[in-house]
Amino acid sequence: MKQRYFSTFQLILLALFSALVIVAKIALRTPLQMSGHSGIFWMAIIIVGARVVPKLGASSIIGVTSGLLASFLGLGDFGALNTFLSYAMVGISSDLMLWILHGNTDNAVIAVIVGIFGHLGKFLTKWLFGIITGAPIGFVALGLLRAFLSYVIFGALGGLLGWLTLQALKRAGFFAYLAEKR
């Protein structure tokens, strides 16, 4: 087998994790109707993905791929460009945070920090989108601070859920199963 940065299995796995992000976003709605609440599953999947494929760029691939999927499905009210960039930024900011922290999401604190900053990547995109359209005032009026807090809380919870999922996967022998595969 040719040695590559991402093996074919890893690429397919990341692509399917991206699909899982979309499924979590649409199908697994919780009864909570707070801005950014779907981030909990979203960030959890990214945190797990970054550990299952422990290479820089893994989260970005999940982000960009899920962005393309979401754009094709017509998710989000602000158009395909905004949707694509929001999803992509979640992955890219998670990768950036992992790079800055020099760690992996096996550490609960790192998982939570990556969860928060990854999710804030989406918030940042929405905010920048507002600035580009020249509508920051309106955006502030629509509850910038509330949205920010909500993104932080659900990002952190997503990071925590991702970390808990990783620990459960470890105990369940998932990484031994994974170790067989190239």
Partner 1 sequence: MRVSQAGRSRQLALVEDSPLRHADPRTKLFLSLAVSLVVMTSIERLLIFLAVYVLFLLWARLMIPTLEHIWRLKWVLILLFLFDWWMINLDHAILICLRLILLTGVFALFFSTTNTRELGLALEKLRVPYRYAFSLSLAFQSLGLLDDEWRAIREAQSSRGALPNVSSFWKFITNVGDLISLTVPAIVLTTKRAWAITEASYARGFDSPHRVSYHSLSFTRLDFLLMTGTIILLILLFWR
Partner 2 sequence: MLRANQISFRYPQEGHGLSPVSLNVEPGKITLVTGPSGCGKSTLARCLMGLIPHLYHGEISGEVWLNGYRTDEVPMWQLAEKAGMVFQNPAAQMLAPTVEDEIIFGLENLGLAHDEITSRLETALKDFHLAHMRHRNPQTLSGGEQQRLALAAILARQPEALILDEPLSMLDTTAATELIAYLQKFAASGKALVMFEHRHEYLDNLPELHHIALSGKERETDFPSANLSARESFKLNIDQLHVQLAKRDIIQNLDLEINSGQIVAIVGRNGVGKTTLLRSLAGLQKHGGSVKVNTAHGDETPNFGIAFQNPDLQMFNASVRDEMLYRLPNPDLNYFRWLISALGLERYENTPPLLLSEGEKKRVALGLVLMRQPAHGLLLDEPSLGQDQLHKTILIRLLRTLADAGQLVVMTTHDLTLASHADRLILLGPGGEVIADGLSDAVLNDSSAWQKSGILLPDWFLRGRTESR
Query: Binding residues for partner 2, per CB under 8 A?
Result: 1, 9, 168, 171-174, 176-177, 179-182
Cβ at position 121, least distance to partner 1 in Å: 19
The closest alpha carbon to 60, from 98, 27, 3, belongs to: 98
Whole-angstrom Cα distance, residue 156 to residue 90? 13
Residue 53, helix vs strand vs coil: coil
Phi and psi of 3, rounded to 5°? Answer: -80, 125
DSSP for 62-97, written as a single string: HHHHHHHHHHHHT-SSSHHHHHHHHHHHHHHHHHHH
Whole-angstrom Cα distance, residue 130 to residue 85? 13
Residue (54 or 79) nearer to partner 1, CB: 79
Q: Which stretch binds partner 1 (CB under 8 A): 61-69, 89-97, 107-115, 117-125?
A: 61-69
Cβ at position 103, least distance to partner 1 in Å: 21
Query: Which partner, partner 1, partner 2, none, binds residue 48 by CB below 5 to 8 Å per kind?
Result: partner 1
The closest alpha carbon to 121, from 17, 36, 22, belongs to: 36
For partner 1, the binding residues (CB under 8 A) are 2, 8-9, 11-20, 22-24, 26-28, 30-32, 34, 40-41, 44-45, 48, 52, 65-66, 68-69, 71-75, 77-82, 84, 129, 132-135, 137-138, 141-142, 157, 160-161, 164-165, 168-169, 172, 174, 177-178, 181
